[in-house]
Amino acid sequence: MAVLASIGSADFNNPAINGQVDGTRARRSPGSALKPFIYALAFDQGLVHPQSILADTPTGFGSYQPDNFERDFRGPISAFDALRFSRNIPAIKLAAQLRQPSYYSFLQRAGIGKLRPESDYGLSLVLGGAEVTGREMAELYAMLANGGVQRPLRFQTTVAEPMARQQQLTPEASFMVLDILSHSPHPLRSEDDGTIAWKTGTSNGLHDAWTAGVFGDYALVVWVGNFSGKSNPALVGVRS
């Protein structure tokens, strides 16, 4: 959990881009970058396994009609493919079936700061409604690599590792999620070699683009965006 590198802005000395803001501490919408934890909870609660078939079909939740990023539907789809292709409808349906902990309770227990009351989010929680920092994101992905055990980041690597550790997910669920993420489609390669388990996220309105992943002994999180919050059509996680 030792932080080896932390880059908070593109240029510390550039006031035009608010360069002295530390972007690793800024709260931003994660988009779909936290979907893996919905599946991990569903695996732990026995709701599905990676080859369970889910429905990726047009579904209304009252007046809310969620869509997929690609604005298409794939019909019957395995949980394995639903996660690696980041389909919204299966994730929303799974989150609604979670018992204890619920997805919101999990985020609370994991220490995601400044959460509003659960009723404020509704289904938007699944698609990035709760803002997180890059540091929190790194801790969550490191949790998967550590078999579901959450430990705090260490910024002074010479200091002894803190004793605080919480088993948030089982090793089995963590393994299955990482295995799925190691097959995420790569924009620059026809096939993934399985050495990087990674997930992208794009916030609603194209304000934030994320990639978070695990490779070897390392977890890495990248956020791209404007500190002003200005949107940009280039801010799509899998592309940028």
Angle between helices 35-44 and 171-181 (to 10 degrees): 140
* Rounded average pLDDT over 2-9: 96
Q: Do 40 and 194 form a contact (C-beta atoms < 8 A)? A: no
* Mean pLDDT on 1-12: 95
Alpha carbons 219 and 136: distance in angstroms, whole number: 12
Q: Across the strands, what pairs with 214? A: 197, 219
Q: Which two tokens stand for residue 88?
A: 């919204």
- Check if the beta carbon of residue 31 is closer than 8 Å to that of residue 203: yes
According to the model, what pLDDT value does residue 205 have? 92
8 A C-beta contact, residue 107 and residue 118:
no
pLDDT in tens, 55-112: 999 887 777 777 777 778 989 999 999 999 999 999 999 999 999 999 999 999 999 9
Q: Do 26 and 8 meet the contact criterion of CB atoms below 8 Å apart?
A: no
Strand, helix or coil for residue 55: strand
Separation of alpha carbons 127 and 229, rounded Å: 18
pLDDT tens, position by position, 13-72: 999 999 999 999 999 999 999 999 999 999 999 999 999 999 999 887 777 777 777 778
The answer to whether the CB of 63 falls within 8 A of the CB of 240 is no
**Of 71 and 142, which is predicted with more confidence?**
142
Note the Cα 43 to chain centre separation in Å. 16
- Please tell me the predicted confidence (pLDDT) of residue 70: 76
Task: Copy the structure tokens of residue 236.
Answer: 């799509």
Sequence-ordered list of residues with C-beta below 8 angstroms from that of 198, at least 6 positions apart, any chain: 181, 182, 184, 211, 212, 213, 214, 215
User: Are 194 and 183 within 8 A, CB to CB?
Assistant: yes
pLDDT for the residue numbered 188: 72
pLDDT attached to residue 233: 92
DSSP H or E segment with residue 89:
helix 88-97
Q: Tens digit of pLDDT for each residue in 148-199?
A: 999 999 998 777 776 789 999 999 999 999 999 999 987 777 666 678 999 9
In sign, the C-alpha dihedral spanning 184, 188, 190, 191 is negative
**C-alpha to C-alpha distances, 94 to 8, 108, 211, 215, 216, nearest whole angstrom:** 34, 18, 23, 27, 30
